[in-house]
Amino acid sequence: MPDFDVAVIGAGAAGLSVAAISAGLGLKVALFERGRMGGDCLNTGCVPSKALLAAALAAAAARRAGRFGVRLPEPDIDWAGVRAHVTGAIAAIAPNDSEERFTAMGVTVVRAHARFVGPRTIEAAGRRFTFRRAVIAAGSAAAAPPIPGLADIPYLTNESLFHLPERPEHLVILGGGPIGLEMAQAHARLGCRVTVVERAAIGAREDPECVAPLREALEADGVAIVEAAEVAAADRDGPGIALRLADGTCIAGSHLLVAVGRVPRLGGLGLEEGGIAHSPAGIATDRGLRSVTNRRVWAAGDIAAPEGLGPRAFTHLCSQHAGVIARAMLFGLPAKVSYDALPRVTYTDPEIAQVGPTEAELRAAGRSGLSTLRWPLAENDRLVAEGRAEGLVKLIADAKGRLLGASVVGPGAGDMAGVFALMIGQRLPLSALAGAVLPYPTAQEAAKRAAGEFYTPRLLSPVTKRIVGLLKRRP
């Protein structure tokens, strides 16, 4: 008999979710973690980045208070205090992901590097563990672009950024994706000079109508943005760093943050010994997240590269993966992942939220009969009252009024994304949102108004007017 029903490699968002469900269902579970419990999200990702953004927002709010007739002096940023807030947020959440909590659930937690030594055996801490089923949830790490000289200079990634003892004087950020943009705004608002160096365009994956207000906000925060930049070399520059661009420009700063995407942590897992197929994108799985070569093995989280979909890196996706694995691996049901209603949010100010595909992606996929519905946040009473009515809700629907994609830019865009995820996931018609009674005044009303735009032309059509004209003669 195998030692464990389920063996999980990695105690990040994905591994913890799988372990909790499996143990909750009464299975014998082993969980291997070589680093910190909680993985990237808790220690070096979502939590510290959002904590830093919260500190930055407080500084920005103080600077903006004058518009309400509340004049405050320029905020005095105490870097040690900011760091204490970040580490405090991690410490407050850590018990949820702790070894103690999982041990209490009945999980055997092994704090060591784990590797497959055969298709049904894992080795860790000098011991061998046989398993009935295994889940690889080893996550991803910051990618290092092949720039000459980069490997020879000290640069930061998400693993080191949140532990800087001193505030960077001039943070140069390579990459204008979500990590680059969130960290650019956070550091600029906390008093650092910031330059973003981006190969293509910032926020390139997002709807351009959403990126435009964010670009303005970043520039207003003092972030310098260099786009279409080809970095030819990286060097030391005294105590700092310098990026030399192909056009001859030199961008020098005190610190360099590399945020150009993620690579799966495949190294040292013994995938060959385990008979587990993989590619540079991650563990090759079917849509049920099951290894295409070792049918006792599944993959979850950033490291999973499901067939035809590829990897994605979001904590909420880890829960979806865990749910699919629970149904497929534990109950033998035909569960599959779908990213049709997957939300993502860049937590800048303004936030950018996307649920499902963007308009450009839908059009590139050849979808016809699409309706594009917009509602500007300048028309939202609550946001006007709060002096932050910049942004847009943009919805893309099919001819029958079913929502396919939603793009939002503005304050609280991420909170609005939940409704759109529900609508797309459950295939609800726009009338469900357009007809809902929402509390006034809330930002969410902008979502309802955008949905209502699908029906407005129909409602005010000459035919409807003629019908109403006839009906008015009723006694």
For ligand NAD, which is the closer residue by CB, 90 or 277? 90
Please tell me whether residue 123 binds ligand FAD under the rule CB under 6 A. no
Q: Return the structure tokens found at 440.
A: 């006034």
Q: Do you find a cis peptide bond into 48, omega within 30 degrees of 0?
A: no
How far apart CA 417 and CA 345 sit, in angstroms, is 8
- Determine if 97 is a binding residue for ligand FAD (CB under 6 A): no
Contact status: 200 vs ligand NAD (CB under 6 A): yes
Nearer to ligand FAD, 120 or 448 (CB): 120
Does residue 30 belong to the site contacting ligand FAD (CB under 6 A)? no
177 binds, among ligand NAD, ligand FAD, none (CB under 5 to 8 A by kind): ligand NAD
CB of 462 to ligand FAD, least distance (A): 47
Phi, psi of 194 (to 5 degrees): -135, 135
176 in contact with ligand NAD (CB under 6 A): yes
The packing angle between helices 178-189 and 208-220, to 10°, is 30
Residue 203 annotated as part of some ligand binding site = no
Q: How far is the CB of 11 from ligand FAD (least distance, A)?
A: 6
Query: Distance of CA 317 to CAs 81, 99, 138, 209, 312, Å?
Result: 32, 23, 15, 25, 8
Q: From the list 15, 168, 288, 357, which residue makes contact with ligand FAD (rule: CB under 6 A)?
A: 15
Binding site annotation covers 123? no
180 is annotated as contributing to ligand binding? yes
Phi/psi of residue 94, nearest 5 degrees: -50, -40
Cα distances (angstroms) measured from residue 189 to each of 39, 183, 377: 27, 10, 24
307 is in an annotated binding site: no
Write out the two tokens for 15.
């591994």
Q: Is 137 in the site for ligand FAD (CB under 6 A)?
A: yes
Mention every residue, 6+ apart, whose C-beta is less than 8 A from residue 112: 32, 34, 124, 125
Which secondary structure element, helix H or strand E, spans residue 422, and what is its range?
helix 413-425
Residue 192, SS3? coil
Residues 225-244, one symbol each (x = binds ligand NAD by CB under 6 A, - = not), give ------x-------------
- Number of residues interacting with ligand FAD: please give it, by CB under 6 A: 38
Of the two residues 102 and 375, which places its CB atom closer to ligand FAD in the complex? 102
Judged by CB under 6 A, the chain residues 125 through 154 that form the site for ligand NAD are 145
Q: Buried b vs exposed e over 66-102: b needs ≥16 C-beta within 10 Å?
A: eeeeeeeeebebebeebbeebeebbeebbeebbeebb
Contact residues for 318 (Cβ-Cβ < 8 A; gap 6+):
12, 13, 14, 17, 41, 137, 300, 301
Number of residues located near ligand NAD, criterion CB under 6 A: 26
Among the listed residues 19, 23, 41, 217, the single contact to ligand FAD using CB under 6 A: 41
Q: Is residue 297 involved in binding ligand FAD (CB under 6 A)?
A: no
Q: Which residues bind ligand NAD (CB under 6 A)?
A: 145, 174-180, 182, 197-200, 204, 231, 259-262, 312-314, 344-347
Q: Which residues bind ligand FAD (CB under 6 A)?
A: 9-15, 32-35, 39-41, 45-46, 49-50, 113-115, 137-139, 158, 179, 265, 268-269, 301-303, 313-316, 318, 347
